[in-house]
């Protein structure tokens, strides 16, 4: 233990550590989420040094320079949004209106909507435009408890525009203080100019984009949209193998609208995570479990697409898969930046239990971005990312849909949001 701690968060009514070993409760539910009642967390230089009961903290007389009194509050690890497209230009509310009115995908595309609209806007935007818009969105996520966010490129779809997006993604992290995990997603769609020779676009991704992104150190992961009408299983396999050879870790958008073999590709390339999975086969999911691929479920898409289709979260949990939840924040299919709202959707529509959704937005989400050793739980040696909620019980968090319940956000041991200071 260091001689001096910078900060003690004291008198926490319920501390959800998300570390099963840290709970001293004999209740199974409490144990799974590592619940400690009347707890204290000590922090030194942005890192957690000690976690335990308030009584124990007082008995030992542990020193701390500053204290936060969390009487009546519930503490969770900083939330990890493991799948987003948060950096984009332009919005598509007209398309949403058309969809609510019953328009088909083809009608929306014919009216100039769909992903091509965002590609057009991103190509026309400067890095500065993208950084400003992206930072504003990420600050809004931070106020809702998200302290780490994965952001994908994939609206540039040319070497130059993809690099521009990735530079903007990096700067959003620098400007907001939120940890940003960058993912290259040149294989988000075939751009209009390559419609009639798709294989040439895939060559461009493999031969030029991936090597350039890797050389410039602009991304940690590479993602592919494996879906009927986008990239086939075979094409996805090729792109992700190439990414691995260049040192980018594989991720995949799999089986969102149909079973396109995406879950199996995820397992074959040992993807760190696979997103969507609403139509994945049992065989594919079992292969993912064996490969250690995290299933990232995105129920916000059902709101954006105005279609109540959800992944089989219970089936996946029963199979023993690691399940994470994320916003998939993007202007087309999921205009939701709050993991808290997504946690409510996960409970009500995918029948995940409140304790399960908390693990899905913290430890399992950290695993989905390969950061499980640094973040995702409140335990010694982890980053001091802590969210304090003004709620009576952890189960209240998904229960109060869209509620203004975040009291404070602590990032790397510093308070970055205080709702009491912020209020009118």
User: Nearer to Zn ion by C-beta: 19 or 121?
Assistant: 121
Please report how many Cα atoms fall inside a 13 Å half-sphere around the Cα of residue 16, on the Cβ side: 31
Least gap, CB of 278 to Zn ion (angstroms) = 13
Q: Closest CB to Zn ion belongs to which residue?
A: 328
Q: Which span sits near Zn ion by CB under 5 A: 188-196, 311-319, 320-328, 376-384?
A: 320-328
User: Nearer to Zn ion by C-beta: 225 or 417?
Assistant: 225
Q: Which span sits near Zn ion by CB under 5 A: 133-141, 226-234, 327-335, 369-377?
A: 327-335
Q: Which span sits near Zn ion by CB under 5 A: 184-192, 237-245, 326-334, 395-403?
A: 326-334
CA-to-CA dists, residue 318 to 34, 59, 234, 299, 321, angstroms: 20, 42, 29, 19, 8
Least gap, CB of 275 to Zn ion (angstroms) = 6
Tell me the CA end-to-end span of the chain in Å, nearest whole number: 40
Least gap, CB of 48 to Zn ion (angstroms) = 31
Give the CA dihedral 187, 203, 238, 109, nearest 10 degrees: 30
Least gap, CB of 29 to Zn ion (angstroms) = 31
User: Nearer to Zn ion by C-beta: 64 or 108?
Assistant: 108
Least gap, CB of 256 to Zn ion (angstroms) = 8
User: Nearer to Zn ion by C-beta: 278 or 391?
Assistant: 278
Q: Which span sits near Zn ion by CB under 5 A: 111-119, 205-213, 323-331, 352-360?
A: 323-331
Least gap, CB of 304 to Zn ion (angstroms) = 11
Question: Rounded CA gap, 221 and 10, in Å?
Answer: 38
User: Nearer to Zn ion by C-beta: 44 or 153?
Assistant: 153
CB 16 within 8 A of CB 76: yes
User: Nearer to Zn ion by C-beta: 235 or 328?
Assistant: 328
270 three-class SS: coil
Q: Which span sits near Zn ion by CB under 5 A: 1-9, 53-61, 324-332, 378-386?
A: 324-332
Check binding of 189 to Zn ion (CB under 5 A). Answer: no
Treating both helix axes as pointing N-terminal to C-terminal, what angle do 159-176 and 127-143 enclose, rounded to 10 degrees?
40
Q: Which span sits near Zn ion by CB under 5 A: 36-44, 155-163, 255-263, 328-336?
A: 328-336
Least gap, CB of 193 to Zn ion (angstroms) = 23
If we measure between CA atoms, which residue out of 249, 265, 364, 271 comes closest to residue 316?
A: 364
Question: Rounded CA gap, 190 and 270, in Å?
Answer: 24
User: Nearer to Zn ion by C-beta: 268 or 328?
Assistant: 328
Question: Rounded CA gap, 30 and 138, in Å?
Answer: 31
β-strands 79-81, 74-77 pairing: unpaired
Least gap, CB of 85 to Zn ion (angstroms) = 6
User: Nearer to Zn ion by C-beta: 328 or 356?
Assistant: 328
Question: Rounded CA gap, 248 and 222, in Å?
Answer: 6
Treating both helix axes as pointing N-terminal to C-terminal, what angle do 159-176 and 115-124 enclose, rounded to 10 degrees?
80
Q: b/e per residue, 43-68, with b = 16+ CB within 10 A?
A: bbeebbbbbbebeebeeeebebeeeb
User: Nearer to Zn ion by C-beta: 142 or 326?
Assistant: 326
Q: How many residues bind Zn ion (CB under 5 A)?
A: 1
User: Nearer to Zn ion by C-beta: 150 or 322?
Assistant: 150
Give the CA dihedral 336, 223, 356, 376, nearest 10 degrees: -90
Least gap, CB of 334 to Zn ion (angstroms) = 8
CB 150 within 8 A of CB 84: yes
Please report how many Cα atoms fall inside a 13 Å half-sphere around the Cα of residue 201, on the Cβ side: 21
The residue from 235, 268, 328, 385 that contacts Zn ion (CB under 5 A) is 328
Least gap, CB of 150 to Zn ion (angstroms) = 10
User: Which residues of the chain form contacts with Zn ion (CB under 5 A)?
Assistant: 328
């Amino acid at each position: 233990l260091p001689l001096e701690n910078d900060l003690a968060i004291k008198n926490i009514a319920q501390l959800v550590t998300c570390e099963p070993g840290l709970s001293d409760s004999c209740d199974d539910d409490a144990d799974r989420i590592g619940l400690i009642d009347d707890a204290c967390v000590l922090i030194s230089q942005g890192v957690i040094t000690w976690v335990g009961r308030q009584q124990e903290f007082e008995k030992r007389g542990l020193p701390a320079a500053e204290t936060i009194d969390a009487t009546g509050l519930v503490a969770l690890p900083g939330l990890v949004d493991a799948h987003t497209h948060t950096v984009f230009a332009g919005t598509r509310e007209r398309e949403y209106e058309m969809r609510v009115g019953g328009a088909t995908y083809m009608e929306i595309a014919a009216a100039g909507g769909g992903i091509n609209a965002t590609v057009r806007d991103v190509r026309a935007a400067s890095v500065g435009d993208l950084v400003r818009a992206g930072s504003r969105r990420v600050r809004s996520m931070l106020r809702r408890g998200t302290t780490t966010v994965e952001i994908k490129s994939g609206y540039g779809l040319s070497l130059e525009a993809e690099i521009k997006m990735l530079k903007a993604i990096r700067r959003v992290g620098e400007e907001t203080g939120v940890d940003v995990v960058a993912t290259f997603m040149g294989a988000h769609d075939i751009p209009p100019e390559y419609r009639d020779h798709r294989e040439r676009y895939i060559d461009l991704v493999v031969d030029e984009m991936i090597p350039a992104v890797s050389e410039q150190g602009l991304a940690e992961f590479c993602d592919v949209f494996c879906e009927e009408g986008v990239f086939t299983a075979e094409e996805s396999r090729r792109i992700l193998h190439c990414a691995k050879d260049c040192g980018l870790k594989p991720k995949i958008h799999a089986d969102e609208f149909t079973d396109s073999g995406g879950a199996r590709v995820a397992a074959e390339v040992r993807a760190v995570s696979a997103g969507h999975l609403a139509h994945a086969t049992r065989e594919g999911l079992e292969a993912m479990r064996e490969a250690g691929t995290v299933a990232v479920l995105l129920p916000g898409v059902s709101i954006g697409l105005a279609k109540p289709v959800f992944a089989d979260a219970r089936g996946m949990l029963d199979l023993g898969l690691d399940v994470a939840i994320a916003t998939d924040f993007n202007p087309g299919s999921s205009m939701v930046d709050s993991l808290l709202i997504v946690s409510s959707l996960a409970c009500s529509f995918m029948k995940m239990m409140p304790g399960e959704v908390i693990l899905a937005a913290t430890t399992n989400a950290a695993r989905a971005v390969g950061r499980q050793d640094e973040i995702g739980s409140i335990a010694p040696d982890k980053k001091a990312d802590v969210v304090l909620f003004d709620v009576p019980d952890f189960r209240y968090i998904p229960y109060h849909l869209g509620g203004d319940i975040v009291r404070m956000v602590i990032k790397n041991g510093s308070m970055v949001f205080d709702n009491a200071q912020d209020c009118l």
